[in-house]
């Protein structure tokens, strides 16, 4: 079975996009892991399955590269929105996932998505017990938590030197799987730069280190603002590039950045 796909990325956060009706594609966990493998398949952070689309809306399922389904992926949503907007020659579209219906639009080569409102309650993140999500201590790290359809824990370092010396590969997986996170968590490591901008790296739940994470950038900006470290609008510098995040007065968070189509192909499933 040859499965047609499109490879895209947002700031190096890369995706394999498949339309479910293409040649009657049947997606399962084993096939997802194979396609996502950088050694045996196409290679990507997430696989994005377009179930259906029209000029107004895309129905999307998001899988991590271990085959698990997740509710949010800001950069992936922006890539799919760009692809379908181009197909339909429109400048705006909604992308529906298992947790949200997100409005997306384009302005030149920039794609924006309204990520909705952050969720701060312990059972919305979700945490395994009722504690203050903004005052969580794990293994000596103060972690600030929020959900954007997926759980995030953000650690702010005092300066760039501390930030650059943290061993994300050692710390990330331990924090991600800590018992306090009922469904695991994406862990963001951040610091405020001298010019007030934010530098961030991420350990993504069930994926590992990635070059960018859109929902993680939104979580970092919101929690930096909550803790008086940043204004409600700022630029987040990630390993793969820059995302502009704006936490509007209506509490909706807008994420804007570039995306790129890499290539199209067929995978022998």
**Annotation marks residue 145 as catalytic:** no
Two structure tokens written together for 227: 């803790």
259, 8 Cβ separation under 8 angstroms: yes
Q: Are 116 and 251 in contact (CB under 8 A)?
A: no
121-141 exposure pattern, b = at least 16 Cβ within 10 A, e = fewer: ebeebbbeeeeebeebebeeb
* Cα gap 143→110, rounded to integer Å: 31
In 10 A of CB 158, how many CB atoms?
Answer: 9
What is the DSSP pairing of strand 46-53 with strand 13-19? parallel
Of 36, 44, 104, 213, the active-site residue reads 213
* 8 Å CB contact between 184 and 127: no
Sign of CA dihedral 174, 178, 184, 185: negative
| CA distance linking residue 220 with residue 242, whole number of Å | 13
Is 79 noted as a catalytic residue in this protein? no
Catalytic residue among 36, 44, 73, 218, which?
Answer: 73
Burial annotation 27-42 (CB, 10 A radius, 16+ → b, else e) = beeebbbbbbeeeebb
∠ CA 164-169-174, nearest 5°, is 115
Please tell me the distance from the alpha carbon of residue 81 to that of residue 87, in angstroms, as a whole number.
10
Cite the active site residues.
73, 213
């Amino acid at each position: 079975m040859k499965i047609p796909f499109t490879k895209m990325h947002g700031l190096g956060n890369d995706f394999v996009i498949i339309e479910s009706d293409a040649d009657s594609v049947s997606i399962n966990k084993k096939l997802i892991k194979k396609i996502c493998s950088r050694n045996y398949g196409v290679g990507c952070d997430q696989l994005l399955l377009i179930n259906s689309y029209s000029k107004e809306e895309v129905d999307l399922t998001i899988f991590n590269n271990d085959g698990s389904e997740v509710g949010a992926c800001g950069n992936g949503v922006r890539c799919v929105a760009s692809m379908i907007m181009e197909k339909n020659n429109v400048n705006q579209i909604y992308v529906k996932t298992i947790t949200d219906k997100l409005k997306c639009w384009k302005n030149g080569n920039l794609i924006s998505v309204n990520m909705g409102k952050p969720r701060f309650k312990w059972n919305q993140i979700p945490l395994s017990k009722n504690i203050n999500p903004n005052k969580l201590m794990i293994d000596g790290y103060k972690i600030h938590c929020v959900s954007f359809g997926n759980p995030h824990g953000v650690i702010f370092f005092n300066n760039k030197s501390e930030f650059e010396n943290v061993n994300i590969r050692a710390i990330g997986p331990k924090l991600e799987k800590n018992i306090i996170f009922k469904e695991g968590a994406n862990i963001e490591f951040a610091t405020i730069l001298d010019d007030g901008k934010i530098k961030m790296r991420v350990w993504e739940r069930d994926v590992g280190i990635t070059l960018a994470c859109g929902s993680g950038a939104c979580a970092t900006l919101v929690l930096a603002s909550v803790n008086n470290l940043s204004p409600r609008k700022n630029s987040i510098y990630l390993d793969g590039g820059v995302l502009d995040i704006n936490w509007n007065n209506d509490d909706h968070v807008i994420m804007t950045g570039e995306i790129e189509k890499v290539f199209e192909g067929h995978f022998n499933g």
